[in-house]
Amino acid sequence: MRTKLKLVNGEEAAIRAVQAFREEGHSLDEIYVLAHDGDTVSELSRLTDANTIGVMEEGMATAFANLFRSRGDQLRAKMESLGISALDAERYEEELDKGRIMVLVWYDEDAGTLDRADEAARRRVRPEEVILPPIGGAVTSERR
């Protein structure tokens, strides 16, 4: 499994990071959001359909241990469960302390590199697909 991540400032930048990973061909199942503020994580997950790191990713023992850890310790354990080294997790957690948001992708690099490229190409809007509404007309979401 591989991990790619972006540290961003603010929810709008986090949403753009999720969209950028989607345009690269990553599925929502592979995209996670992480921040010190649990409400921010919940809201971003709701808005973008990205994942939060839970029992399935951490494992039962880590999830149980997190019940007794500080928020910083929890975040580092969550990062480590997705392939980030302990040293890097500590450094990234310091950035989260400053209010930054982490958007990361955890994926199997052997599973469908070509599939990812095909999916990314399908997601891109082609100029001939853009439909402009008539002046003063209503905007519709129909595509040809």
DSSP code of 59?
A: -
Average pLDDT across each block of 10 residues of the chain; the chain has 144 residues. List them in order: 90 94 91 91 89 78 77 89 91 94 86 53 46 50 46
3-state secondary structure of 5: strand
pTM of the model: 0.70
Whole-number pLDDT of residue 7: 95
Per-residue confidence (pLDDT) for residue 68, from 0 to 100: 76
Handedness of CA 78, 81, 84, 89 (dihedral sign): positive
Long-range (24+ apart) CB contacts under 8 A made by 131-140 are none
pLDDT for residue 118: 55
